[in-house]
Chains A and B, each alone.
Chain A
Amino acid sequence: MPELPRDSLGFGVGLRATHYAHILRESPPVDWFEIISENYIDSQGRPRHVLRQIAERYPIVMHGVSLSIGSTDPLDFEYLGKLKRLAHEIGAAWISDHLCWTGVAGRNTHDLLPLPMNDTVVSHVIERVKVVQDFLGRPLILENPSSYVTFTSSTLSEWEFVTRVVEGADCGLLLDVNNVFVSSVNHDFDPYEYLAGIPHDRVTQYHLAGHTDCGTHCIDTHDGAVIDPVWDLYRYATERTGERSTLLEWDANIPPFPVVHAEVLKARELLSGPRRDVESRPTPRRQPTTHSTDRALPHPLSFVVSAGDK
């Protein structure tokens, strides 16, 4: 089994259809792109055609939303085979998905649903990750998702659960610091305790994104800029892991590409600035959203529409 990717790809952006034309025309100086795997593994049309062109110019990471590694349904080897073929075709740097489940009994909610965090589920997930890694012939990188419920059957903290899974399965961790912030609000834990408690040497990649603070809870909407408390968490985490490939997700109210790119470049500025005391833990501050949160939807949604091409 190849080792976990250690070298940073730099500062990347999630590839979204609305930016295809700009990227192909301008070849912006972005370090790398992350794709939503499900938008391309079955494509025989323009999305895959565009992806092939972009993959010739930039490193690509495949990020999935349907592996459902924590489900009790059998693993879908047809799906995994498609992932493997696309990864080979575009020379994907690595393949990631979420530490979650998305459906059961053959049904799919298309949401990243949380798992109960206990010994039984740790063993269940480790076994499945090992099968997936054997099949793909490369390490799987798992992301901590945002979540909105916890279970009475949980006996471990989330950072203990994440640590047990990634170390037991010998896989990588895609650390989404925005998700840590969102879940810390929703589940009343200290995000710095989370970041101090995870295995830093297994962090392969970071995710950054905006969210919506609804007052009583936060939703991972990927619809805006990264807020300062999340930048604080990112700085705190990278002081422990060293620089890792960092990616900005922006999936709703998507601005022009230069705006998205500029947002992730803030991470580069932040990392090139003076280091602070590594024990420094700024107090997480909330930034409640003033507009209506009725339509706040968790992201990512994995769908490339043909609108505009109809």
Chain B
Amino acid sequence: MNSGEPIPETRRDSVSGANSNFGLQQLQRWLYGAITGSSVSDGDDSERISDSVADHVAPSHALSSEERLEIYQRAYVARLIEVLREEYSVLCRAFGTELFDQFAMEYLRVYPSESYTLARLGDRFVEFLEATRPAESDRMSESNPESDENPIGNWADFFIDLARLEQTVNQVFDGPGNENLPPFSAHDLAKLSADDFATARLIVAPCVRLLETRFPVDEYFAAILRDERPAIPRPDQSYVAVSRRSYRTERRSLTRSQYTLLATMQAGVAVGDALAVAAEMGDEPIEKFANQIERWFADWTAAGFFLGYEYEAAKNPSQPDLVV
């Protein structure tokens, strides 16, 4: 509990009603199972109640007990699939509705909702897709009809990457942002001496999320949003930053050097050390890399990637000097 509100001691037990409402609890467990097809039995057969619908649900003049229950059964699947289709609307268009719904139905069976909010319904969808990807043996034996170079396992990688990107965009959309924090500008950054810049740790905004993907899914994602019907691209290690500015999500493709630099700074490494890592692990000549650094930092700062900076602890061992 993080509300800071006390729970009345005398009511801690009574609010559950687990003992005084045994019959209601059993009925609710039965109805939940009957509607969703997922049992929540605690395994004690002596506590089970009849499985007969007619024993619990009365008929109406027009419908039998079973027909009335079916209204809830149909609605449960339909409404939750509708939510997943909206949450993963790009993935749904990539899959096609029929295939997407098959995955969604199985996902709901494996991971039924345990949250009060539908915003969390698809939290484990990417994890589910990873877990249900074709086995390695299938990957090698089946192939993409349009390209022998794309074994079916690679197709799975593509859809998983696409789902990860879409999930990240959704999380950034409604997660913590920097809109209500003091702006940090390129001008603030320019005040630092070269030495201070090298030893400063830039504080990356919480709405900046960095993704490394096996396919160039960002381009595909953008094409789907433009209502195009792009072909599945060939594998190509790709990097993308998802961020938010003025409550609007933004995506920008990154080079490996940019991704490495940002990810290293995001991990709390000082700018100078992060630059060294990026120069070594990046994908471009060191001279070109060096020539672009200033522009990169200006662009990222303007995009709201940074909240401020703090100096290396060694400069002020008693207390880091946070500047925002």
Q: Which residues in A have some Cβ–Cβ distance to B below 8 Å?
A: 38-39, 41-47, 49, 66, 68, 71-82, 84-85, 101, 103-111, 113, 115-116, 120-121, 124, 127-128, 131, 134-135, 148-154, 186-188, 215-217, 219, 295, 297-298, 301-307, 309-310
17 sampled A-B residue pairs with Cβ under 8 A: A38-B116, A41-B117, A42-B119, A49-B179, A72-B21, A76-B116, A78-B1, A78-B3, A108-B112, A109-B72, A110-B121, A116-B27, A128-B15, A128-B17, A216-B63, A219-B71, A302-B118
- Nearest-CB residue, chain A, relative to B12: A74
Question: Contact size class for B?
Answer: 35 or more
**Chain A hits for B170, CB < 8 A:** 306, 310
- Nearest-CB residue, chain A, relative to B83: A303
B15 contact from A74, A108, A109, A116, Cβ within 8 A: A74
Nearest-Cβ distance from residue A295 to partner chain B, whole angstroms: 7
**Which A-B residue pairs are the 8 nearest by beta carbons?**
A81-B3, A105-B40, A66-B116, A45-B174, A306-B173, A72-B25, A46-B247, A216-B62
Q: Determine if B20 and A124 form an interchain contact, defined as CB atoms under 8 angstroms apart.
A: yes
**Chain A hits for B166, CB < 8 A:** 310
**Chain A hits for B119, CB < 8 A:** 38-39, 42, 303-304
Q: Determine if B5 and A135 form an interchain contact, defined as CB atoms under 8 angstroms apart.
A: yes
Q: Which residues in B have some Cβ–Cβ distance to A below 8 Å?
A: 1-5, 7-8, 11, 14-18, 20-21, 23-25, 27-29, 31-32, 35-36, 38, 40, 42, 54-58, 60-63, 65, 67-69, 71-72, 75-76, 78-80, 82-83, 86-87, 89-90, 112-119, 121, 166, 169-170, 172-177, 179, 221, 225, 244, 247-249
Rounded to whole angstroms, the CA-CA distance of A111 and B75 in the bound complex is 8
Q: A78-B3, A110-B80, A149-B69 are known contacts. Are A116 and B60 too (CB-CB below 8 A)?
A: no
Rounded to whole angstroms, the CA-CA distance of A305 and B90 in the bound complex is 12
Nearest-Cβ distance from residue A68 to partner chain B, whole angstroms: 8
- Nearest-CB residue, chain B, relative to A80: B3
**Chain A hits for B72, CB < 8 A:** 109, 111, 113, 148-149
Q: Determine if B113 and A110 form an interchain contact, defined as CB atoms under 8 angstroms apart.
A: yes
> How many inter-chain residue pairs (CB < 8 Å) link A and B?
219
**Chain A hits for B5, CB < 8 A:** 77, 80-81, 84, 135
**Chain A hits for B17, CB < 8 A:** 72, 124, 127-128
Q: A111-B72, A151-B57 are known contacts. Are A116 and B247 too (CB-CB below 8 A)?
A: no
Q: Determine if A149 and B57 form an interchain contact, defined as CB atoms under 8 angstroms apart.
A: yes
